[in-house]
Amino acid sequence: MSAPTKELLVVEDLRKWFPVRRSLADVLAGRERRYVRAVDGVSFTVVCSEVFCLVGESGCGKTTTGRLIVRALRPTSGKMLYRVSEEVLDALRALHVRLEGDSFVDLAGRFRGKADKLLRREVQMILQDPYGSLNPRQTIRDILEEPLIIHGIGGSRDERLELVVKALKDVKLTPPEEFLDRYPHQLSGGQRQRVNIARALLLKPKLIVADEPVSMLDVSIRAEILQLMLELRDVKNLTYVFITHDLAVANNICDRIAVMYLGKIVELGPATEVIRNPLHPYTKALIAAIPEPDPRKGRAIKEVPIKGEVPNAVNVPPGCRLHPRCPYAEERCRREEPELKDVGGGHLVACHLY
């Protein structure tokens, strides 16, 4: 694959804080409202045709970031500048949608009516749960036809059927006629995830946020689904934001990896560089935890003794967020939050050791 260069999505200082409900006692005592700082100042750029990976343990903010990008949530602050495709750009101009630069829109803004629908078509999501994300009372045909009806694509039922059949072929559910009248429970987990991918593809998106798309599948099926996603990326010129807790999966599919911890990116760089030469103690700990298939081989990355559990995102530690758990923490780490710095070759790390 040639090196991608054009920015598709530029995320700047993105925040999503969820307010914690105050009890009557809190209100009477005049205690300040507290917030779960799920995403707390995240910045990154996704370039066209790449697979950009957000990695981290549960609660690190990766799924919330994905849901912000697809506009399932509204951010507390920050920008998500998205390069609109040529086909949609003129329509947005005609609708007087505010553009940033020549062809970007800020997905953090509010959009209504047709503009909202056009932008939703551009950025689609593949959900983690292939079992729960399909309506068990609908046939595969109805599930796939629904987004077409909502977005007014395909003038007649026959035209929509043609598009549904093509989408099933694209995800290699063939012959499609065999799947159209089945219900989700009549499919295997891998087939259901293919239907999910087909549903996302029907609206011809440019950017797909895939939230742990293979984590609930059998190991034997995972490679097939990842391979399918890569093939579709090449054929349909897609770009993925791939969310996973599994660095081994990230290493297989991603061009670049951003490691998140407690709502922040702590390391970002080309996938091979981050996996082979991790710099941040947290990334090292994640990589050291990947099981080694051949026990006779030594580990390339020595185990890093990160202590305890991830703290609550309501009580974020001051300074470096990892300092209560980090074996290398020094006085400065308790006071000063490290910036994400480029240490060369597009490899960025947020740690006072660098």
- Total residue length of the chain: 354
Measuring CA to CA, which residue among 84, 42, 80 is closest to residue 62? 42
User: Segment contacting ligand SF4 (CB under 6 A): 32-40, 237-245, 283-291, 327-335?
Assistant: 327-335
285 near ligand SF4, rule: CB under 6 A: no
> Would you say 160 or 280 has its CB closer to ligand SF4?
280
**Helix 189-201 and helix 157-170: axis angle, to 10°?**
120
Measuring CA to CA, which residue among 65, 78, 50, 100 is closest to residue 207? 50
> Would you say 243 or 333 has its CB closer to ligand SF4?
333
281 near ligand SF4, rule: CB under 6 A: yes
Distance set, CA 58 to CA 214, 217, 243, 260, 261 (Å): 16, 18, 11, 10, 9
> Would you say 92 or 262 has its CB closer to ligand SF4?
262
287 near ligand SF4, rule: CB under 6 A: no
Give 221's strand partners. Answer: none
> Would you say 232 or 285 has its CB closer to ligand SF4?
285
User: Segment contacting ligand SF4 (CB under 6 A): 73-81, 100-108, 197-205, 323-331?
Assistant: 323-331
For ligand SF4, the binding residue among 320, 340, 347, 348 (CB under 6 A) is 320
> Would you say 194 or 264 has its CB closer to ligand SF4?
264
Q: Is 29 exposed, middle or buried (0-12, 13-18, 19+ CB in 10 A)?
A: exposed
329 near ligand SF4, rule: CB under 6 A: yes
| Phi/psi of residue 64, nearest 5 degrees | -60, -40
User: Segment contacting ligand SF4 (CB under 6 A): 142-150, 155-163, 291-299, 328-336?
Assistant: 328-336
Q: Tell me the closest approach of the beta carbon of residue 352 to ligand SF4, in angstroms.
A: 4
Measuring CA to CA, which residue among 271, 47, 319, 13 is closest to residue 259? 271
For ligand SF4, the binding residue among 82, 271, 338, 340 (CB under 6 A) is 338
| Beta-strand pair 348-349/341-342 | antiparallel
Distance, in Å, from the CA atom of 330 to the CA atom of 80, rounded to the nearest integer, reads: 35
> Would you say 314 or 353 has its CB closer to ligand SF4?
353
User: Segment contacting ligand SF4 (CB under 6 A): 188-196, 283-291, 302-310, 345-353?
Assistant: 345-353
> Would you say 154 or 317 has its CB closer to ligand SF4?
317
For ligand SF4, the binding residue among 38, 326, 340, 348 (CB under 6 A) is 326
User: Segment contacting ligand SF4 (CB under 6 A): 131-139, 248-256, 268-276, 320-328?
Assistant: 320-328
| Beta-strand pair 207-211/239-244 | parallel
> Would you say 148 or 326 has its CB closer to ligand SF4?
326
For ligand SF4, the binding residue among 168, 333, 340, 348 (CB under 6 A) is 333
User: Segment contacting ligand SF4 (CB under 6 A): 87-95, 115-123, 224-232, 322-330?
Assistant: 322-330
238 near ligand SF4, rule: CB under 6 A: no
259 near ligand SF4, rule: CB under 6 A: no
Using CB under 6 A, list all residues that contact ligand SF4. Answer: 280-281, 320, 322-323, 326, 328-329, 333, 338, 351-353
